[in-house]
Structures are given as structure tokens and as C-alpha cells.
Chains A and B, each alone.
Chain A
Amino acid sequence: MTLWSILPTELVLSNVDSPPPLYEEIQCNHIKLIVEKISPTQCKVSRLLTTDPQDYLHPEIQPGKILTYKPIL
């Protein structure tokens, strides 16, 4: 890996040894998402696993959005 940045390397790699985030795959309205678990009931969208470019335009599943798990009745 080559890093070219005005930030010092130690700053960029400062958390390299910290435990990595817990990722999990979920299905949301037929779109597969990779989410980062932030609490037992909440997760943050990290990536979309879809090839349909229009899926990337949904405002509610933009990467970084917080989703709340809800039981389906």
C-alpha cells in the first residue's frame, strides 16, 4: 500500500491496532448491505452490495446512515 498524504503517517495509521469494527450483512428492501454494528439495536451502513446503480441513490440507505433494527411482526 502506498500512502501519499499531507497527514503524518502515524496519524493516518493511529488506530491500526485497535479492534476492527464488527461488520454484518443484512437485507434491506431487497438490497444487501454491509453494516457496522454500533449497538445491539442499531447499525451504520457501510457498503451496498448491489450492481443496480439506482440502488445507490436511495437516501435512506446511503453509507453512514444509522439503521434501527425492528422486529417484523
Chain B
Amino acid sequence: MLDNDNPVVEPPGTNPENPRIPTEHTKKNVTARKVDTVDNIQELGATEIPTAKTNVHVMTIIGQVEGHMILPPQNKTTKYEHIMPQLVAIEQNSDIEGLLLLLNTVGGDVEAGLAIAEMIASMSKPSVSIVLGGGHSIGVPIAVSATYSYIVESATMTIHPIRLTGLVIGAPSSFDYLEKMQDRVNKFVVDHSSISERKWKELLFKTGELSRDIGTSVIGKDAVSYGIINEIGGLSHAQMKLNELIKIQKETKGLKQ
């Protein structure tokens, strides 16, 4: 069945400009699962090759958070319609016990971001987020939506007011609309982290920190000291915390029954 007995190392010729060896191996990649099953029965006498199952699923929020508008393809985006069903699936699947959220986002659609944050916050399963690189603007509510949040020391979060870039606000109601939208974000962050509303607003409207905007760029340790993020830490910390949260969840469930 296998042309290449080392499945990790691919034979040369997978380059589109130089398809020297158009192997069987590459040809059978996009096929129905049925074919795979038949192969497995023939070769191994089993319907399904056992794979390692993990109880923790991972979700990456990278680039722009994309909602109602499709952004030009050179933007790397995390799409609302991809994330939401995955969250539902994680909540429903009994084999999955926790969610690890990796954030490196520049911000994006406020409503899509808030929706993702609300979904994560309302999940019954424990979630842990890690802010890596940057978790800016709408990335802040998503980061705090997890049960427990981590930030690596080198990561930064830009906290600044919501605005419509490049548009002239023509009516007072637009101001009100923006203000209400800002209030929704403020309320979410204050409710889901230990920062006070006063401190949050102070960071939001600070002048002199950012060169082209008002607001603050909060770096790793500061995010923890302001109470936005729970702790400084990386992957191993997050994994350990998640295991701990899963254990607590199991114990409390056991008590209820």
C-alpha cells in the first residue's frame, strides 16, 4: 500500500513546477473515507487505524477576526463561521474535556469578536487562553473570555477605543452607536477579568502612549498586574492549568450526581 515506508518523509516531486515523481501516495490524498476504510481492511484487517485521542482541543485566533465583511485575501483572518461551529462541536462532544485558545490577533470585527468571546465564556467546559505575540483590540475580550488566561512575557495587548477607520461620522446617533458598542466591550472585559472599570477606562483613554491613537500598549507583566490576564505563562502552564480545571470539573460533576 505504501510506496514510501517512512510516512514522515515525503519523496521528492511534490513541487508543482517539478513533478518528477507523481507518486500514488499524493494521488490518493483527496479521496473519500470509504476508500481509506477499504484500504485499511485489506492491509491491516481493521476498519479504522486507532489514533491517539486527546481530551483537549486547540483553537487558534490569528490575524484579523473576520465577521460580516470578507477581507482581501492578503489578510490572514480567523473567520466567524469557522470558529462558531467548532465551539459548538467542542461543547457537544463528550470526549473533549477542555479548550486551549491560542491568540495572536491584531483585532478585527467587533461583533464577530464579541460573539466568539461570549461563546467561549458560556461554554460548560473549561478553557485556557494564551496570548502570544499580540492580542490587540478585540483580542482582549477573547483572551479574557476563557476560564483562565495566560500571557507570555513578550506579548502585548493594545487597548484603545473602537472607531470606524476612514469614515466620517455624520450624525450624533453614530457617536451613540459607537459609544454603546464600546460599552458592550468594556462590560464584557470588566465582567470576565479582575480589572476595575475605572482602571480599564483609564487604559482606554490614556494619551501619549500610542503614537497614532489614544490608549495603552500593555505588555505581558502589566496585563497581569492590571488584572486583565490571570497569569504569566506559556504552553506548559496552560496545559497544567487546563488539566487541573478538567479535574475540578469532573469532581464537582461527580458530587452533583
The chain A residues found within 8 Å of chain B, CB to CB, are: 1, 16, 20-21, 23, 26, 28-30, 32, 38-39, 42, 44, 49-54, 59-61, 65-70, 72
Contact = CB atoms under 8 A, between A and B. Distances in A.
B53 interface: yes
Contact of B73 (A23, A28, A30, A65): A23
B31 A72 contact: yes
Contacts of B53: 54
B89 A69 contact: no
A68 B27 contact: yes
A33 to B, nearest CB: 9
Contacts of A30: 33
A29 B30 CA distance: 8
Given A1-B106, A38-B16, A65-B10, A51 B29 contact: no
A16 B74 contact: yes
Nearest to B87: A51
A63 B43 CA distance: 27
Contacts of B56: 53
Given A20-B74, A38-B16, A39-B16, A68 B51 contact: no
Nearest to B36: A29
Interface string B1-43: 0000001101000111000000001111111110010000000
Interface residues of B, number: 33
Contacts of B90: 51
Given A26-B30, A53-B54, 15 more contacts: A16-B74, A23-B73, A32-B82, A44-B16, A50-B86, A51-B57, A51-B89, A51-B90, A53-B56, A53-B57, A60-B25, A65-B10, A65-B29, A68-B27, A70-B27
Contact of A28 (B26, B30, B58, B59): B30
B14 A29 contact: no
A59 B10 contact: yes
Contacts of A51: 57-59, 86, 89-90, 99
A61 B29 contact: yes
Contacts of B25: 60
A65 B32 CA distance: 18
B212 to A, nearest CB: 12
A46 B56 CA distance: 23
A70 B28 contact: yes
- Quick one: which of B8, B30, B73, B89 has the most chain A CB within 10 A? B30
